[in-house]
Amino acid sequence: MSADTPDTKSLKIKIFADGADKAGIAEIGKNPLVKGFTTNPTLMRKVGITDYEAFAKEVLGIIGGRPISYEVFADDFSEMERQAQKIAAWGDNVYVKIPVTNTKGESAVPTVKKLAAAGVKLNVTALMTLQQVKEVAEALKDGPPSNISVFAGRIADTGRDPLPIMKEAIEIMKIAPKSELIWASPRELLNIFHAESIGCHIITVTNDVLAKLALVGKDLGEYSLDTVKMFERDGKASGFTL
């Protein structure tokens, strides 16, 4: 393997699986590279989850004590706080996801600060600006271990390079040494190495991207040949004639 060939053995970043399919969580959890898990109401709805608490507790029995983030689904801050306290009680490895604002654009920072002061482990989510990172890091700095999720993939979707933003976020977060930066919403497996290159602590990755981990470092000549074989095989299977 050449010096410029990527490999997973040297990765320092923690890979968290992002999903809500119990069978998928159990299967991907067998991979020793997966150090934790995240989910959210959107992912739960996609797979038809109707009993939030039952689902959450079943998953806790699957993941073997690794950290997992469950999100509140209230829009009112007092209700967010109540839900957060209930979710946090499900386990010491549970982090509670709090959106950086409610749907009115009102900041959740006061709620974040209050929950952190009460000892709730938080994953503040849906951040996209450095100002948001500054405000959230300040709110978390005296609290327990926490995560700050910056949606680098969605930043990239707007045509902006997320790398400089994520690098600056790491610097800002030094005021909150028990907080870890999450590179959220990656769009491709290469984003794991992007995040690793700047010292990001965690990246959340969906199962379809995690499935590509076996390709890391694959010889490109072999991969080219595999691709040609795929085209030939599918052409035959389609029964095309000219």
Residues with Cβ < 8 Å from 72, sequence gap 6 or more? Answer: 79, 80, 83, 84, 87, 96, 97, 98, 99
Distance in angstroms (rounded) separating the CA atoms of residues 131 and 108:
13
97 catalytically annotated: yes
Distance in angstroms (rounded) separating the CA atoms of residues 187 and 190:
8
Structural element, H or E, at residue 203: strand 202-206
- Measure the N-to-C terminal CA separation of the chain; round to a whole number of Å: 43
Q: Among 97, 121, 141, 229, which one carries the catalytic annotation? A: 97
Phi and psi at 189, nearest 5°, equal -60, -30
Three-state secondary-structure class, residue 83? helix
The residues carrying an active-site annotation are 97
